[in-house]
Amino acid sequence: MTILVAEDDPITRSGITESIEGEGFRVIATANGREALDAFRSEKPDLVCLDIMMPEVDGFEVCRQIREANAAIPILFLSAKNEEIDVVVGLELGADDFIRKPFGKRELIARIRSSLRRQALSQTDRQGQPFSMLDLEVFPKELRAVREGQGIDLIPREVSILKLLWEREGEVVSRDELLNVCWGSEYFPESRTLDQHISKLRKRVEVDPKNPELIETVRGVGYRFRV
C-alpha cells in the first residue's frame, strides 16, 4: 500500500517516512501542499498524512481538495497545532483523524493501520442495504443520506457510526465499542476524535443538533439511537 506524506520540515518528514517504510508501506514524501496535491493525483495513494502549516498550499486546503476528489480515502492530520478549533476544522473538512505532535512511532503506525482497516471494512459496508432512522434514509453504498428529498453527503466512517447505532436500536453503544468498530481495535480511546466526529455528524443529520434524536448521548457511557 502507498502512503502520501506531506510535511515541510525535512527532519520530521524523514522520520515519518522511515517509520512508515519500516512497516512495509511505500511512501511518497512531499514538502508542501502543492507537491502533495500533484502526488495525490498522479500516484493515487491509499492513505494521506498531512501537516497543516505548509508552504504553497496549507494542509486544510489540501484536505478539502482531496476529499472533493475522493470521499473514501483516509486522511490523517499530523500537526503541532493543538487548539480544539484546528481539530474541528480538520474534521469538518473530511479528515478521519488528528494526531498531535510530538507522537510516537507506535501510535502513528497504529492509527494508520486502523484507518486502513476501517476503510477496507467500509468497502464491504457500502454493499449494505439502505436503512432508515426516523425520517432520515441512509444509503451506505452511495455514501449519502436523504431527508425530505434533500441529499446529505457522508464519509464512510459516518455511515459506520449511523449503521452501528441503527443495528443496536434502543441499546446504549459504548464509546469503546464505537471506537473499536468504526476506528479499529488499535485506536487510542483517550482521543477526543469520537466526540468531534459525533458533533460534526449531528450538524449534518439531526434536524436540531442541540436536541438530537438520532444520536442521543448517554453520559459517561456512550450513544444511543432510540425511537
Same domain, 110 and 79: yes
148-187: per-residue pLDDT in tens? 999 998 888 888 899 999 999 999 999 888 888 887 655 5
Same domain, 107 and 86: yes
What residues contact 194, with CB distance under 8 A and at least 6 apart?
175, 178, 179, 183
Same domain, 116 and 131: no
In total, the chain counts a number of residues equal to: 227
Mean pLDDT of the chain: 87
C-alpha 111 chain-centroid distance: 11
Same domain, 209 and 107: no
Mark out the alpha helices in the chain (DSSP H runs). 10-21, 33-43, 59-69, 84-92, 105-125, 156-167, 175-182, 193-205
125-148: per-residue pLDDT in tens? 555 789 999 999 999 888 889 999
Same domain, 182 and 78: no
Mean pLDDT of 188-205: 79
45-56: per-residue pLDDT in tens? 999 999 999 988
Final residue in a domain of this structure, among 84, 103, 123: 123
* Closest to 179 measured CA to CA, from 212, 219, 222, 215: 222
Total domains, the chain: 2
pTM for the model: 0.63
Residue 215, SS3 per DSSP: coil
Which CATH number covers residue 57? 3.40.50.2300
Same domain, 150 and 199: yes
Q: Let me know the angle formed at the C-alpha of 84 by 81 and 89, rounded to the nearest 5 degrees.
A: 85
Same domain, 115 and 136: no
Same domain, 116 and 214: no
- Given this model, what pLDDT does residue 119 score? 75
- Given this model, what pLDDT does residue 140 score? 86
Where in the sequence is the domain holding 195, given as residue range(s)?
127-224
Instruction: With a cut of 50, say whether residue 189 has pLDDT above it.
Output: no
Report the amino acid identity of residue 166.
Answer: W
- Orientation angle between helical segments 156-167 and 105-125, nearest 10 degrees: 70
Final residue in a domain of this structure, among 123, 140, 166: 123
